[in-house]
Amino acid sequence: MFVGCGARVLAWAEFWAFMRGMYCRIWKSLGLVRGVAAGLAVGTVLAGCSSSIQDPVPRLAEENAAWQASVAARRPEGLVDGQMSLVRRDGVGAVGLAGRSVGKAKVDAKRSALRRGGGYRKIGKPYQINGKHYIPRHDPDYQETGIASWYGRDFHAKMTANGEIYDMNALSAAHRTMPLPSYAYVTNLENGRKVMVRVNDRGPFKKGRIIDVSKRVAKELGFTHQGTTRVHVAYAGPAPLDGSDHREQAFLKKKTKVATR
């Protein structure tokens, strides 16, 4: 009898030892699974961090591309690089550039309170307007003779092709291919008057016209009332981004003194 009981006790002891071993192996397996899961989670977090901490250049490029896409989404169809909207200038079919208004401005003062500069340097991609192709480029030897027109109140306080604000009282101009911003000499061949201008916009696109100047420049050149005149335009180098007009004003004062002698 005691022998039978001892055998049963030994069998139960072996059974419980076996179960305890299985229990330990199961927990070890679960621990390994938890370790693998934790490792995967940490790897995912690290991967996310590494993707967010990246070279700023491509990130800025992506942000710039997103900004360009948002601008393009608001443009009417048919616009090209450097244009915000296509409109009619001077009532005779000249296609020019205009942007969004940046607020009301006093337009009668010789020097208005509009922000100066604040744009960026650009040459731009080749583009096409009314079937004609234009290729913006830097040409230090550029000179051309043709017709100049001017644009004023309808475009005052609106954005130019390089992100500046158009001021009809400033010594500025629009050109189809010059780098932005640039300096250029504009000479009225009808009366010999000459002005240095800041080129910060694109246009004009009327056949035969080579430059579109501000109302102030048209006044200095003496063709405000007639609307257009024959001019000679010469590239004079890059202009500063801060919008300073000291060089243009100094040139104008110098020419005025010479003319009054």
Phi, psi of 124 (to 5 degrees): 95, 160
Q: Which residue type is seen at 59? A: R
Highest mean pLDDT among 3-17, 129-143, 151-165: 129-143
- Which span out of 73-77, 153-157, 189-193 was modeled with the highest average pLDDT? 189-193
- Beta strands 209-214 and 143-151 are parallel
Taking 70 as the threshold, does the pLDDT of residue 160 lie above it?
Answer: yes
Count the residues in the chain. 261
| Residue 108 predicted with pLDDT over 80 | no
Higher-pLDDT residue of 257 and 88 is 257
- pLDDT reading at 252 higher than 60: yes
pLDDT reading at 248 higher than 70: yes
Q: Domain spans of the chain?
A: 88-260
pLDDT interval class at 152 (50, 70, 90): confident
Residue range 88-260 forms a domain whose CATH class is mainly beta
CA-to-CA distance for 232 and 17, rounded, in angstroms? 106
Strand, coil or helix: 151: strand
- Summarize pLDDT for 19-68 with one digit per residue, the tens: 766 666 665 555 554 554 555 554 554 444 444 334 344 444 454 455 44
- Looking at residue 259, what is its pLDDT? 57
Asked if the model's pLDDT at residue 182 lies above 60, the reply is yes
pLDDT band at 11 (very low <50, low <70, confident <90, very high): low
Residue 238 confidence class, pLDDT cut points 50, 70, 90: very high
